[in-house]
Chains A and B, each alone.
Chain A
Amino acid sequence: MPMQKYGYEWIQLAAYIAILLIITKPVGLYLMQVLDARGKTFLDPLLHPVEKGFYWLLGLDPIKEQTWKEYAISLFIFSLIGFVMTYTVLRLQQHMPLNPQGFGPLSTHLAFNTAVSFATNTNWQSYAGESTMSYFSQMVGLAFQNFTSAAAGIALAAALVRGLARHSAKTIGNFWVDMVRIHLYLLIPVCIIYAVFLVSQGTIQNFKTYDTVQVIEQQAGGNHPIRTQIIPQGPVASQEAIKMLGTNGGGFFNANSAHPYENPTPLTNFIQMLSIFLIPSGLTYYLGRMVKNQHHGWTIWATMLALFLCAFLVCWHAEEAGNPRLYALGIQQDTGNMEGKEVRFGVFDSALFATITTDASCGAVNAMHDSFTPLGGLIPLFNIQLGEIVFGGAGSGLYGMLIFVVLTVFIAGLMVGRTPEYLGKKIEAYDVKVSVLFIMVPVFVVLGFSAWAVVSEWGLAGLNNSGPHGFSEILYAFTSGTGNNGSAFAGLNANSPWFDTTLALAMLLGRFFMIVPVLALAGNLVQKKRSESGSGSFPISGIMFASLLSGIILIIGALTFLPALSLGPIVEHMIMLRSNLAY
């Protein structure tokens, strides 16, 4: 393999990591201010009055905090109202404004699936945006959820971190204050700049009717009709910015970030990848600051980076190696597996995007995962199954990772025969129980629903591929739904009453059944006393802890999902290399 060809890829990878490293501290410091009800930001002169107006409307004293149960109730009620709102908008789409194409209402099961999908930060898409959703539905029904579900994730992470940082206390913050401040000081300002940048590169932002164009190559002769192409339009840039920053992933168009109007250049692609990890990476610094142990924050960051790199290198290599079935037909091998990829991104940027979008709970795609090589497709699948904790979703990545940290501390404590202790607090039965609950929920939901689907007619009816790849399509769907990721092996036609409903259930369980243990853990930790950690306590920074932590993440993930993966991508890989079979 010529070095020259690979040079650019390695430089880009190094640049990506370097920039991520550089922005982590400033983002973390800014989050410190945003997530503190008394925090000060440079936007205060402009936005503080708006913030105060918000509290006045809500009838709220911003200094008054909530216990974990109150926090949870606020979050659930807010999510429920949002869900009802989105469902209503989608069902009554034809009566709403900004519908130049005159789209009708979504079916009950599709509206239910979509409303759940966006309210849970999943953004699984059983519909194709450009032929289903009016601009009003996109902006009010969907983009609203992109903001609020991301903000709720960040708020939850902050609540858990407060639980760790405080001691002998009762409250973990105020949900409404967190939501208002995250929107005003973080998401909206960043998105405005981000969206304008996207437009400068070619992403569209308008409210006009779809354009009908007369294509360049017309038929010869006089009696042929003029050949036309209908090009969808819409407010894409504003949607795209929050879709990436909020790790939502729901594309304006069916092709998502592969669509030239969503992700027009390699530069926008690079920024999109960076924006997925922006908040999750900053949150690790926020954690370090809050618990006054910056080494711990950076150790978690480094663990995430290591897991990210391992997964990415496998995915890149598999896609670069490509598909021997197609090479046998006499096509060049130097560009790798190009089926379902865009020329401007090529194999490297597609593999990198796929790894990042599934490390986080983003789920945007710039290439079709369904057409990845078996091992290339295994990586996104396994990433989601690990719990999307490698940087992870906005907020959900950090709280998921902290659950694993608690388990690691517990297991390490057992190994050395000491009472496990985390940041000076004893880790006891209750903490371990809720942590294990957090880890068990997706196991049952993913494997249970997948097993049900593959032995049911409704499950098999949706398949686009057969053999092991068909199994992977179903496993990926429930993994993605439960993990609130939203990417897909998109050949699966999941817009049927059964798939829409079971996937919606998987998304609900994967979001709210996991939020409860997180808040319960926060509520239990916050009331504990803190003892000064002496020389006897297990170190929670450094290479030793990072290795233990990643070991436990990988062991739990592998033990749980390896059997299922063996039936899908792994056996498919063997068939690809060792036979000439095609399905």
Chain B
Amino acid sequence: MIRILKEVRSAVVATIVLIVIVSGVYPVIVWGIAQGLFPFEANGSLINKNGIIIGSRLIAQNFTKIHYFHPRPSSAGTGYDPVSSGGSNFGPLSRTLVDTVRQRVMKYRTENSILPGTEIPADAVTASASGLDPHISLGNARQQAARVARARGLSEEVLLQKIATHLEGRDMGILGEPRVNVVLLNLDMDGNK
């Protein structure tokens, strides 16, 4: 019994000391280094326009108007809600999934005047995992270029060039997929760098 009590005492002491180290000292060290070396990233990669924060480079926001590029569909809350990140979690045979995607395909075709027979980029009509995916595929961005060009009275050529400057390649040449950040692209369209 005394030995058990001694073990309990050890466990309590170890718990307290470890809390101080791994829940106190460790995150504060990381916080200190992070705020010193990478303050922009550590604070959320927030975009500041004339003193007003208008979003994060890493977090998708909803764009519905025709003169903006549209992000991927989102299942985060009622859509693009960072307080409830997540995917749709519909299985591949879910009727709700199939119906929802069918509607998105029709809308995407109409909005972007896509000819029957041309296939739609998959990322344009499927919900992302986080609901906050700030990226779209290059194909998706290009399909939307003509619409945005018309709405803004620009030539499609100019828009395709814009997209090309926002194309992020694979990390280190091999990792991940090429992608275009919708938030940054739309900011650029509005004349903000």
Contact = CB atoms under 8 A, between A and B. Distances in A.
A458 interface: no
A575 B94 CA distance: 12
A200 B38 contact: yes
A371 B129 CA distance: 9
Contacts of B172: 267
A206 B26 contact: no
Contacts of B44: 204, 206, 211, 231, 233, 261
Interface string A57-74: 111100000000000011
B101 A329 contact: yes
B193 to A, nearest CB: 14
A530 B7 CA distance: 33
Contact of A200 (B17, B37, B93, B121): B37
Contact of A258 (B41, B81, B87): B87
B12 interface: yes
Contacts of A323: 92
A238 interface: yes
B46 A140 contact: no
Which secondary structure dominates where chain B touches chain A? mixed
B82 A58 contact: no
Contacts of B177: 266, 343-346, 349
A188 B21 contact: yes
Interface string A232-273: 110101110110000000000111001111001111011000
Interface in B122-173: 122-123, 125-137, 139, 170-172
Q: Which of B24, B52, B132 has the most CB of A within 10 A?
A: B132
Complex A-B, nearest 8 residue pairs according to Cβ-Cβ distance, in ascending order:
A266-B176, A491-B89, A258-B129, A469-B91, A255-B85, A368-B87, A255-B130, A346-B177
Given A144-B15, A235-B30, A326-B125, 18 more contacts: A8-B174, A77-B4, A78-B15, A196-B38, A206-B31, A216-B55, A216-B68, A237-B34, A270-B171, A322-B122, A331-B119, A331-B122, A338-B126, A339-B90, A368-B86, A373-B92, A582-B93, A582-B95
28 contacts: A54-B17, A57-B13, A60-B10, A73-B4, A143-B23, A148-B22, A187-B22, A191-B30, A204-B44, A210-B83, A211-B44, A237-B42, A253-B85, A265-B171, A326-B122, A329-B105, A329-B125, A330-B120, A331-B119, A331-B122, A331-B125, A333-B119, A333-B122, A343-B177, A345-B177, A349-B176, A373-B92, A465-B89
Interface of A: 8, 11-12, 15, 54, 57-60, 73-74, 77-78, 80-82, 85, 128, 130-131, 139-140, 143-144, 147-148, 176, 179-180, 183, 187-188, 191-192, 195-196, 199-208, 210-217, 229-233, 235, 237-239, 241-242, 253-255, 258-261, 264-267, 269-270, 322-323, 325-326, 329-333, 335-346, 349-350, 365-368, 370-374, 464-465, 467, 469, 472, 489-491, 572, 575-576, 581-583
